[in-house]
Structure formats: C-alpha cells, structure tokens
C-alpha cells in the first residue's frame, strides 16, 4: 500500500487512475484547481484544492506521499503552438518547481504521462520503439520532452526515481465529448447530437488508440520497483485512420456522420503507432480491449452523461 498523489488528477486520466489505485488498496489524493466531476463516486479518495503556481504549498502537499503522478498540464497538442511561451512558462517551469518540492518531501517516485503521439514527430519506422529519434513538430511535444529530460536530471542529481509513459491516444468512459482532445469521445458526442464532425486533413491520419482501463493498469503497475528510471510506450501497436474511427463510431451509434474536412495542420503527425514490447517484457501488461469493444463502452458513457 502506497500514499499516492495525483497532481492535476481531476481530468480524464486522473479520475480513472484514482479509482484504479483505490481499488488496488492504495491511499489516493487528487490535487487540482477543481474537484473531479464524479467526485461523489470515488471511495477512499481525498481531494485537495490547489493553485498550480503557488510553489509555497507544494512541499507541504507532498509530505508523506510515496508516489507522485504529475498530470497537471495547461496545453493541448493542437493549440500549444499559439502560446508557446506560456507552454514553457506554465508547464515546464511548474514541473521543475514540483520536482524540487518532491525531492525536499522525500517522494519515492515521480510518474509522468508523456505524449507518445507527439514526442517522436514524423517517422516511417512503425511501430515506434522507445529508441526512435524524438523530433516533435508541435510545442506540446517539445515541452513534454523537456520535462522527460528534467526528470532524468533530477534522478542523476538528487536520486529521486522516475517513470515516463509515452501514451498513445487514450479514450474511454470519463472523456469529455465536448472537449478539444479525444477524437472518439468527440465523434460519439457529435453523432448522438446529430452535429457536424470537423476534422483537419483528409481523414487518413493514422493513430494508435488505447482504452483507458489498459492505460490505468499500466500506471498502477508503475508503482512496481521493476519500472523505474526509464521510458515506456503505452499503446496497442495497431493504427486506425480518422475515417475508420468515424465509421466505427457511426456503426455503433447507428447514425450516418456529417463530416467536414478542414485544411491539414502542419503540427499533425501523419502516422503514429507505438511498440509497447518493452513494458510487456518486464511486467504482465497488455492492452486487452479491442477498438470496437472500447468504443461501445465509451458510447454508453457518453450517452449517459451527454450535456
């Protein structure tokens, strides 16, 4: 049993992870600027309201915590280039302050969700291994990579353990269908509402979509001492185009999609499929949920929680 704190834990990944950690018997604290939407459903999970930029409270917040999950992030892949200076000031600078506080509070391990979809950039070597070159073409990917490097530095200088997961496109129950991130949730919401679906490019962009329960299992397993001071991909090894995802969602919802194709964005990587062999070789982890089953579960959640 570990004391686990999730900074920025009120979002999609944090909410699902807090439940998984609690179910596994760990003591969980969510620290965020606002409580989770479904806070009342969480058993044995504490909530602490924080300001991300109040560095004076970080050390007190982390006292007695064994595992720090750093999920706080203010930018998105598609919009980060519009405010690149803020991306660095808010996300990278804040992360450094958080890591300093973690060292002072004697946190055992920092676990960080990096972006498997952006840090590698354009590549033709598929599926992508952790040893591939990292040449991100959006600010979001660059700042994620910077934080990875700072974690490595903090380990070398101060001895604090870290774990980096480069996640592909996570989806499933709990993801906002009105948000700017999450193709599957967004498409499902638009189909249910009979609204137009707007996508950038011709719809042939290929991504690796991994179900949220498979992602959170990896993060719970991340407490294991066998996983530390390293980088691991978290994906399925299978790729689907945006058009294929829209068609799958359409078949499940039972409505024909109205798709608007917008000009392609230069910040979007054309192909991204992750090789997760490395983590599979160390622990008993596999992405168990196939895409159709996962979309059906996501659809049921979106339908119940549609606003």
Predicted model pTM: 0.94
> Residue 206 half-sphere exposure, CB side, CA atoms within 13 Å?
15
CATH superfamily of 183-206+239-276+289-305: UDP-galactose 4-epimerase, domain 1 (3.90.25.10)
Beta partners for 31? 7, 48
Question: What six digits make up the tokens of 298?
Answer: 């996501």
**Domain span(s) for CATH 3.90.25.10 in the chain:** 183-206+239-276+289-305
CATH 1.10.3210.10 holds for 3-171+208-235: no
Average pLDDT (286-307) is 93
Average pLDDT (67-83) is 79
Average pLDDT (245-259) is 97
pLDDT band at 306 (very low <50, low <70, confident <90, very high): confident
Per-residue b or e along 211-233, where b marks 16 or more CB atoms closer than 10 Å to that residue's CB: bbbbbbbbbbbbbeeebbeebbb
Residues contacting residue 203 through CB under 8 Å, at least 6 positions apart: 241, 242, 243, 246, 259, 261
The pLDDT score that the predictor gives to residue 50 is 87
pLDDT at 39 over 70: no
Distance CA 145, CA 229 (A): 15
Beta partners for 28? 4, 45
Residue-wise pLDDT for 143-181, tens only, equals 999 999 999 999 999 999 999 999 999 999 999 998 778
**Domain span(s) for CATH 3.40.50.720 in the chain:** 3-171+208-235
Distance CA 40, CA 177 (A): 21
* Chain centroid offset of residue 155 CA: 22
């Amino acid at each position: 049993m570990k004391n686990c704190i999730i900074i920025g834990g009120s979002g999609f990944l944090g909410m699902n992870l807090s439940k998984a950690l609690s179910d596994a018997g760990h003591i969980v604290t969510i620290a965020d600027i606002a409580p989770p939407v479904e806070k009342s459903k969480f058993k044995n999970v504490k909530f602490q309201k924080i300001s991300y930029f109040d560095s004076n409270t970080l050390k007190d917040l982390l006292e007695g915590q064994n595992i720090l999950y750093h999920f706080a992030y203010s930018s998105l892949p598609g919009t980060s280039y519009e405010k690149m200076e803020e991306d660095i000031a808010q996300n990278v600078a804040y992360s450094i302050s958080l890591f300093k506080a973690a060292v002072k509070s004697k946190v055992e391990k920092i676990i960080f969700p990096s972006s498997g979809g952006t840090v590698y950039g354009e590549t033709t070597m598929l599926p992508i291994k952790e040893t591939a070159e990292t040449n991100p073409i959006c600010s979001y990917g660059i700042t994620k990579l910077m934080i990875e490097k700072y974690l490595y530095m903090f380990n070398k200088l101060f001895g604090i353990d870290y774990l980096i997961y480069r996640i592909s496109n996570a989806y499933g129950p709990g993801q906002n269908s009105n948000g700017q991130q999450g193709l599957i949730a967004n498409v499902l919401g638009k189909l249910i509402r009979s609204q137009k679906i707007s996508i950038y490019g011709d719809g042939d962009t290929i991504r690796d979509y991994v179900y949220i329960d498979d992602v959170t299992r990896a993060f719970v397993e991340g407490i294991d001492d066998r996983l530390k001071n390293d980088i691991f991909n978290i994906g399925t090894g299978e790729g689907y185009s945006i058009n294929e995802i829209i068609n799958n969602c359409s078949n499940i919802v039972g409505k024909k999609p109205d798709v608007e194709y917008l000009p392609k964005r230069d910040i979007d990587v054309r192909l991204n499929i992750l090789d997760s062999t490395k983590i599979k070789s160390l622990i008993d982890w596999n992405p168990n949920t196939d895409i159709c089953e996962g979309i059906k579960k996501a659809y049921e959640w979106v339908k119940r929680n549609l606003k």
